[in-house]
Amino acid sequence: MGQCVTKCKNPSSSLGSKSGDKEPSSKSQGKKGTSHKEDLSPAGKSSGDLANGTKKPDMSQDFAQPLASPGDKAISNGEEFSLQRIEELFKCYKDEQDDAILEEGMERFCNDLCVDPAEFRVLVLAWKFQAATMCKFTRKEFVEGCKAIKADSLEMIHARFPSLLAEAKLEDRFKDLYRFTFQFGLDSEEGQRSLHRDIAIALWRLVFTQNTPSILEQWLDFLTENPSGVKGISRDTWNMFLNFTQVIGPDLSNYSEDEAWPSLFDTFVEWETERRRKRQQEDNDKHSDFPSTENVEESQET
């Protein structure tokens, strides 16, 4: 999700690239179960080379060692990290033409971090980096993002994931992440103002990874089964759905059309209420097909 969450044709099944194709399982899945102490040097490169063919700095050096430039170090809350090493890490993945990490570099970055590009941790990282576009980190986003999480290497970024996930569970921080996710899903180059339905469904599944609302699956079923009536998701609908999950119970009994909910919510509640009524009727019909125990005993006595 994060930066490697992409606008593919079938985002519910693949979020790894713009073409809709995920990394071969042997490339990414093989690393998911590895220890944090494993080699997190950029994939496909020797320990001494960067992606652009230049010599790679020694990222394993003690972070407390003095750097060549006195003003290059930053210290926050007792933790020291190097702006120079952040810049060097960025160069490992940046595009040859653009001063940014693009899709190919992003896939290598996720792979080297031992994370699936389609998982929640990547979305959270993009949120902390305040990335404006999917599959892209500008130099400023990457540098400022690494400074924000106090990390200047793959190992340090990976080590920050537990605290980032814990932060994302806090109500006010999750609200910020949730609203970020809508903007993140828009195609800024096309000037989009609403999310494509399939992209919205994929992002809803992703952003609610840690705390899934009881009504989420019914809502996504509604969107999936009514494609002609739901072409896009507006910012207002996206934002209000979070309120909807917090206020409306799973039985929908406390929903009121008199309140200022988007009209799509009215349609959803009507659709879900009717679907539940039909299921209840089907269950009743099934039970009525079987004679009661009392009737069976009377028939045997006769």
pLDDT per residue as tens digits for the range 259-292: 889 999 999 999 999 999 998 888 777 777 655 5
- The widest CA-to-CA distance across the chain, in whole angstroms, is 102
What lies within 8 Å, CB to CB, of 41 at 6+ separation is 47, 56, 59, 112, 154
Residue 297 binned pLDDT confidence (cut-offs 50, 70, 90): low
SS3 178: helix
| Contact (CB, 8 A) for 4 and 15 | yes
Measure the CA–CA gap between 268 and 245, rounded to whole angstroms. Answer: 13
Residue whose structure tokens are 């080699």: 39
| Contact (CB, 8 A) for 94 and 151 | no
Residue 191 binned pLDDT confidence (cut-offs 50, 70, 90): confident
CA angle 199, 181, 219 (to 5 degrees): 55
Q: What is the pTM for the complete model shown?
A: 0.72
> According to the model, what pLDDT value does residue 178 have?
98
> According to the model, what pLDDT value does residue 252 have?
92
Weakest mean pLDDT among 64-68, 82-86, 124-128: 64-68
Measure the CA–CA gap between 224 and 218, rounded to whole angstroms. Answer: 10
**Closest CA relative to residue 11, chosen from 214, 213, 136, 196:** 196
What pLDDT digit, counting tens, does each position of 204-238 carry?
A: 999 999 999 999 999 999 999 987 778 899 999 99
Mean pLDDT of the chain: 78
Measure the CA–CA gap between 61 and 96, rounded to whole angstroms. Answer: 27
Tokens of 9: 């044709």
DSSP code of residue 26: H
- Helix-helix angle 171-185:235-247, to 10 degrees: 150
| Contact (CB, 8 A) for 156 and 59 | no
234 pairs with which residues across the strands? Answer: 194
